[in-house]
Structure 1
Amino acid sequence: MSIVFVYSSPGEGTEVQRQRERVHAELPLPSYFWYLTGRSSINAQTKEGISYVNNFAYKDSFACAVRGLQSFASRPVYGPKLPSVSVSPSAEIEEGSSVTLTCSSDANPAANYTWYKENEDSPKASGQIFTITDFRAEHSGSYSCGAQNKLGRQNATICLTLAPDKPIIIIIIVVIIVTLLALILIAVLLLCCCR
């Protein structure tokens, strides 16, 4: 660090020379502390420059600051909150169509996302968005989105089903109507014959 000292007030027309002086200052190392967001400091054990917090709830969020400079605290850090999963266009999908699953979770640091299908060990996809094109019967089932950062993991599940074919629905409706008409006709014939 260089500091310029002026030893006397120069008068008008006086030549001024600059001198450099070295100043050495020993400042104490900053002391960091952790606290629950919105609360007082907590007990954290420090080993080799790393702070360890043992007793906390999963929903807690933490921030750290330098003692004496608490107003300049870090952004709170916390594990992922329970993810929200949405499906577009709907959870009942027509065969051959495309479906997009979206997962989101509040977390700091930001969460990474992984998609799994029920009863399968290997992930189907990674990232917030998972798209299935050409949906088939074997795609039906529960899908789980895992949101994870270095502070924790949370999962949410959604169930996808294959919509019944429209021609089958029409056939079922026609069969029901014909059956009802036949029953009505039989009832009318029985009433007429019994008189």
Structure 2
Amino acid sequence: MLISPPDAPKLPSVSESPSAEIVEGSSVTLTCSSDANPAANYTWYKKNGDPDLHPLSKEPQLVFSSIQSSDSGEYYCTAENELGRRTSEYIYINVTYAPKLPSVSVSPSAEILEGSSVTLTCSSDANPAANYTWYKEKQKLLQSPEGSHYLTSVSSEDGGNYSCKAQNQHGQTSSSVFIDVQCESHIPPKSYMLVLKLISMVHNSRLAPNMFLCLLLDKKFRCFVHQGHQICSWKHFTKQTIFFTIIYSITIITSNKKSLTT
């Protein structure tokens, strides 16, 4: 019978299964092996962790039953017996995953006036990096890998709900933000105070109060009386006409106590 002489562990080899793309939520196994006599004991670690306090496994295999994006990184193992200890080379685990819920922001974040420039920014944690698409009221505006959408010289018609979709081959998700454009014509000097009181507004299209006031002051309404109600129409940028019934009370109070009520 051939008896192998005692020997310290050789350089451990490491492998991963499956060897194809690793997707978040899948099962992944890392295996460490080394020739040694007596047989080696194995320990798994993650790079930049504390080897003394945080060994991940003391088995030849390190198993992730449902791997997460936070598990991405470099791993290594050690093989040890009473004759010595050897450390493997690093194996890199790259976990791919669908975009996380996007973060959307508006700059400037303060009051947005007509004529100003606005930047909408969308960002999402994703691997591979997400591609971004901006929409306004479900109408596609822009698709790019950068995630920023620029509005120059905005008008009241640019106000509304904007949404950003982040997408890669593993999935998609979206977030939205509402832009409220203040028309310059109804922003009075510091010596003025504007009081807007909308008693009732019933219409067949979403119309923000600020947009309503901009249009009113800019005389973009055509109004007439029908069966005791004031019926107004407005032609907006899609060339469609919106009809609605409105009862309103608008008071502009100036520093000299004069007021105008409509």
TM-score range, shorter chain: 0.5 to 0.7
Alpha-carbon shift at residue 163 of structure 1 (Å): 1.8
Contact preservation (8 Å) 2:133, 2:143: yes
Give the structure 2 partner of residue 107 of structure 1: 126
Alpha-carbon shift at residue 162 of structure 1 (Å): 1.1
Q: Are residues 1:167 and 2:188 paired?
A: yes
Q: Quick one: structure 1 residues 128 and 31, their matched pair in 2 at CA, closer, same or farther if it must change by over 3 Å?
A: closer
Q: Which amino acid aligns with 2:91?
A: F
Q: 2-side partners of 1:38 and 1:152: how far apart?
A: 13
- 1:1-40 matches, within 5 Å, as 32-33=17-18
Q: Which amino acid aligns with 2:141?
A: P
Q: Alignment partner for residue 123 of structure 1, among 127, 131, 141?
A: 141
Deviation per CA, 1:105-162, whole angstroms, max 9, x where unpaired? 1111011111110142x33453311110001011000111111110010101000011
TM-score normalised over the length of structure 2: 0.41
Give the structure 1 partner of residue 156 of structure 2: 137
Q: Which structure features the higher share of strand residues?
A: 2
Give the structure 1 partner of residue 108 of structure 2: 89
Q: Which runs of 5+ in 1 are unaligned?
A: 1-29, 43-55, 64-68, 180-195
Contact preservation (8 Å) 1:91, 1:159: no
Which one has a bigger Cα radius of gyration? 1
Q: Quick one: structure 1 residues 74 and 41, their matched pair in 2 at CA, closer, same or farther if it must change by over 3 Å?
A: closer
Q: Quick one: structure 1 residues 175 and 159, their matched pair in 2 at CA, closer, same or farther if it must change by over 3 Å?
A: same
Contact preservation (8 Å) 2:24, 2:97: no
Q: Which amino acid aligns with 1:150?
A: Q
TM-score normalised over the length of structure 1: 0.54
Contact preservation (8 Å) 1:117, 1:124: no
Deviation per CA, 1:73-113, whole angstroms, max 9, x where unpaired? 43111110001011111264100000001111111101111
Higher relative contact order (CA 8 A, sep 6+): 1
Q: Which structure features the higher share of helix residues?
A: 1
Q: Quick one: structure 1 residues 149 and 70, their matched pair in 2 at CA, closer, same or farther if it must change by over 3 Å?
A: farther
Contact preservation (8 Å) 1:116, 1:125: no
> Secondary structure in 1 aligned to 2:188?
helix
Q: CA RMSD in A?
A: 4.1
Q: 2-side partners of 1:175 and 1:37: how far apart?
A: 60
Q: 2-side partners of 1:116 and 1:91: how far apart?
A: 22
